[in-house]
Amino acid sequence: MHEFSLATGMIEAACEEARAVGASRISSITCRVGILRQIDPELMCTAFEMVAAGTPCEAAELKIVTMPVRLACPGCGHHFDAYGYEWGCPTCGADATCLEGGDELELISLDVEEHDETALAGGGVR
């Protein structure tokens, strides 16, 4: 269940960012998660909702962009995405390729509402 700690970290970072720009609410958060993190997106969204309750992220929509494993071949310099466990170089057939990505976890964008919500209460008829 490491989704909870990841969601917590994500929300803390998002709230900090929102505070820095003077936003009162965050409407959506986009993050990039490498496939090697083995995140369950559904579980991540559930964790996010639970952790976000009572924070400026409360109503935010979480968008997760899953990143594939990216490899580089030191032999021929070819860069490619790997799927499954086929990590060999498709160009020259070398087995010893270097991991370049696929284990990231980053906040890539944030949509915020910059105005304070003014309560429209009162002034009712009768």
Q: What is the largest CA-CA distance in the chain?
A: 80
In whole angstroms, give the CA distance from residue 45 to residue 47.
Answer: 5
Give the binding range for Zn ion (CB under 5 A) out of 15-23, 35-43, 47-55, 83-91. 83-91
What is the contact mask toward Zn ion in residues 50 to 79, using x (rule: CB under 5 A)? -----------------------x-xx-x-
What's at 6, amino acid-wise?
A: L
Q: Which of 9, 91, 98, 116 binds Zn ion (CB under 5 A)?
A: 91
94 scored as a contact of Zn ion (CB under 5 A): yes
In the block, which residue shows the tokens 């995140």?
39
- List the one residue out of 70, 67, 87, 88 whose CA is nearest residue 79: 70
Q: Which is nearer to Zn ion, 65 or 92 (CB)?
A: 92
Show Cβ contacts of residue 88 under 8 Å, excluding neighbours closer than 6 positions: 94, 95, 97
89 scored as a contact of Zn ion (CB under 5 A): yes
99 scored as a contact of Zn ion (CB under 5 A): no
Q: Which is nearer to Zn ion, 73 or 110 (CB)?
A: 73
In whole angstroms, give the CA distance from residue 68 to residue 60.
Answer: 25
Give the binding range for Zn ion (CB under 5 A) out of 23-31, 60-68, 93-101, 115-123. 93-101
Instruction: Check the CA dihedral 28-29-30-36 and report its sign.
Output: negative
Size of the site for Zn ion (CB under 5 A): 8
Contact residues: Zn ion, CB under 5 A = 73, 75-76, 78, 89, 91-92, 94
